Amino acid sequence: MVECRNITVSAHGNISPCTHHTDQAILNLVSATSVVMHRKLAIQGSTQAYACRYRLLKRVLWRKVAKSLLMPLFLFSNTAVAEVDVNESLFGLQQLRLFANSPDGYVPISQPAALAELMGEEQVDSLTLEDARRKAHESSYSLGASRSKTSAAANLARAAYSGVLPSVNLRTARGRENSTPSSRLDDTTGEALAESTQIRKEVYAVISQPLLDLSAVTEIRRTAAVRKASEFDESGVRGDVTYDSSAAFFSAVEAELSLKLALAQQQRLERLGIWMSARAEAGGASGADRERINARVLSAKSNVEDAISQANQAYITLSQLTGTLPRQLVLPSLGSYEPVGSLEDALAMVSHANPAVLTARANEEASKQERLGYWARFTPTLKFELSTTNIDNAGGVMGWRKDERAMLVLNMSLFAGGGDYFKQRASHNKEEQYAFERLDSERTARRSLQIAYSGLSSARQKIKSLTKQAQAQAKVVEAFDAQLAITSRNLLDVFDAYQQYYQSQLELVRTSVQAILLEQQILRVTGRLGNTLPMNGEG
């Protein structure tokens, strides 16, 4: 019995494989087996019989080595890609959950501790899509600025009501007064003094209630429209932040799954290289075949390094948006996914749901009310006033005098330099500006929806074809692995099968993420993304 570190070979050529294989183990195996065969055949006769039986035993040896190595290779590489049998809107998410190979949709992140130390971010155990969106909302400066803008507009809208509510004013005054002629009488003659100087005091209080003020009415309407515009703008910013966080989340999922596929491809080629080394040592293959595999292994390692770099970039982007770095990502459940509906329904929603269109329409209304407000300045205002006036030492007469009034006050501006007229024209120009912006936003939104739905339809069809393609290529790889064990398959055909299988899996992941992001873009354009969190991570 000859025993290597990973494989045990008996004197009769029986092989017992272990789970892991190394190049050194294969070399030890071939060397030890060659010694056994030399000893057995040297005893048994002529040179010709020795050569024939030696070649026969070598062939049996590497066939058994091939079976022992290719069996775990096939089991590792050909994970079945299930046929998608769900609603079309779930194609992308369904495939990602299949690649994650977890019933709860968990996607562990490679080297989370090293990344957290590199970026200085706090680590969390897991991160769902809902958590990513919420954390992005909390840490977004642009959304915070938009919220402050909305709060300011709301306060100004409340302040505009003061123009139609009662007002109370109090005025006090004290100072030196010179009266000519004076109201004070001369004590000697009993006639009014020609001039007197005294200290005058006044206390004036008035309660005023507007009865007719078109300027105040238009100001209320204008500020209400500005408030709506701010709210719609905030909704649009929230949708942008939600989409960015969703894109970062699914980009991280794509990067992690792509990295796993690249590692799987590298391990497939490395195990094939180990098997080819054993075959070459046994005389069943040339050194050129072994070098071809080594070149493919180096290329696969380069792909793994590229995948690691792309994954790190995706994690950094996700960390910047959410402020955390999870150890694993949790894909949304199929039942929590919001369908996007048809193109016709989405186009019908643009005019009354798209945030950019709603913002432009509200700004257009605000400009209209501003224009009407400037026109209203040419109309009279009517107020009802209750006032009381207390004056001490008025005109030189000692003591307090009190006057109380209840009056209707009419004010009307006849000419103010022409400023109100030109301001009205400027408001009209702004109204036209926002009208054009609204039309442009509608056209842009419709074009975006048409492009998104076209891409989504293509992506869904591509997912179907890629799924069938991956299933077929998995069978091809299985058949080629079996044929390699009996030396009936060209090595280049095997390389091509492995590469096509890897590329189809990689493209299936990318297309699935692309379909999901297109659906998120549709929800964003139709105003359904950001106001609610329709997707969660519960399995």
Per residue in 311-341, pLDDT tens? 989 988 998 899 888 889 999 988 777 788 8
Mean pLDDT of the 241-270 span: 93
Average pLDDT for residues 62-75, to the nearest whole number? Answer: 46
Residue numbers of the domain that contains 45: 2-77
In a domain, 19, yes or no: yes
Residue ranges of E strands in 320-414? 324-330, 381-392, 400-411
Going by the DSSP 8-state scheme, the letter that residue 121 receives in this structure is P
- 183-197, 260-274, 296-310: the lowest-pLDDT one: 183-197
* Per-residue pLDDT band at 405 (split at 50, 70, 90): very high
CA 525 → CA 351, 355, 437, 442, 448, distances in Å?
11, 8, 16, 10, 8
Under DSSP, is residue 15 helix (H, G, I), strand (E, B) or coil? strand
How much is the mean pLDDT over the chain?
A: 81
Predicted local distance difference test score (pLDDT) of residue 302: 93
192 sits in which H/E element: none
> Is residue 31 assigned to a domain?
yes
2 neighbors 30 (Cβ within 8 angstroms):
no
The Cα–Cα gap between 448 and 239 comes to 15
* Cβ(324)–Cβ(124) below 8 Å: yes
pLDDT at 45 over 70: no
Q: Look at residue 42 and tell me whether its pLDDT is greater than 60.
A: no
Look at residue 237 and tell me whether its pLDDT is greater than 90. Answer: yes
SS3 content of the chain, % helix, strand, coil (to 5): 65, 15, 20
Please check whether residue 56 lies inside any domain of the structure. Answer: yes
Supply φ then ψ for residue 123, to 5 degrees.
Answer: -90, 140
pLDDT greater than 60 at residue 86: no
pLDDT for residue 140 = 93
Does some domain include residue 11?
yes
List the one residue out of 455, 432, 435 whose CA is nearest residue 525: 455
Question: Higher model confidence: residue 307 or residue 536?
Answer: 307
In a domain, 10, yes or no: yes
pLDDT at 435 > cutoff 60? yes
Pairing of strands 122-128, 324-330: parallel
For the segment 383-397, the average pLDDT, to the nearest whole number, is: 88
pLDDT band at 285 (very low <50, low <70, confident <90, very high): low
Let me know if residue 137 belongs to a domain.
no
State the pLDDT confidence band at 351, using cuts at 50, 70 and 90. Answer: very high
Are residues 388 and 403 in contact, defined by beta-carbon separation less than 8 angstroms?
yes
> Residue 468 and residue 477: Cα distance in Å, rounded?
14
452, two tokens: 């998104």
Q: Which residue is it, tokens 């006032």? A: 387
Please report, rounded to a whole number, the percentage of residues in the chain having pLDDT higher than 90: 48
**How far is residue 387's CA from residue 468's CA, in Å, rounded to a whole number?**
88
Label residue 98 by pLDDT band (50, 70, 90). Answer: confident
CB 77 within 8 A of CB 272: no
Q: Say if 156 falls within a structural domain.
A: no
Exposed e or buried b per residue across 403-440, where buried means at least 16 C-beta atoms within 10 angstroms of its C-beta: eeeeeeeeeeeeeeeeebeebbeebeebbeebbebbee
What is the DSSP-derived secondary structure letter of residue 71?
H
pLDDT reported for residue 44: 45
pLDDT higher than threshold 50 for residue 395: yes
Number of domains in the chain: 1
Asked if the model's pLDDT at residue 76 lies above 60, the reply is no
Query: pLDDT grade, residue 13 (50/70/90)?
Result: very low
* pLDDT, position 77: 42
Could you tell me the CA-to-CA distances from 528 to 138, 234, 410 in Å, in that order? 19, 13, 51
Instruction: Give the residue from 230, 246, 254 showing the smallest Cα distance to 136.
Output: 246
| pLDDT at residue 468 greater than cutoff 50 | yes
3-state secondary structure of 294: helix
* Residue 44 maps to a domain: yes
Mean pLDDT on 155-180: 92
Lowest mean pLDDT across 72-76, 112-116, 294-298, 481-485: 72-76
435-440 average pLDDT score:
96
Dihedral through CA 304, CA 307, CA 308, CA 312, nearest 10? 180
**Residue predicted with more confidence, 96 or 87:** 96
Answer yes or no: is pLDDT of 230 > 50. Answer: yes
The Cα 226–Cα 232 span in angstroms is 10
The structure tokens 């058949």 sit at 479
Alpha carbons 309 and 287: distance in angstroms, whole number: 33
CB 86 within 8 Å of CB 94: yes
pLDDT of residue 487: 61
Closest CA relative to residue 374, chosen from 432, 436, 428: 428
Angstrom distance (rounded) from CA 452 to CA 442: 15
Tokens 């300011």 found at: 152
Determine which helix (DSSP H) or strand (DSSP E) holds 168, and give its type and residue range: strand 167-179
What is the rounded distance in angstroms from the CA atom of residue 331 to the CA atom of residue 305?
25
C-alpha separations of 49 from 15, 52, 275, 281 in Å: 24, 5, 28, 21
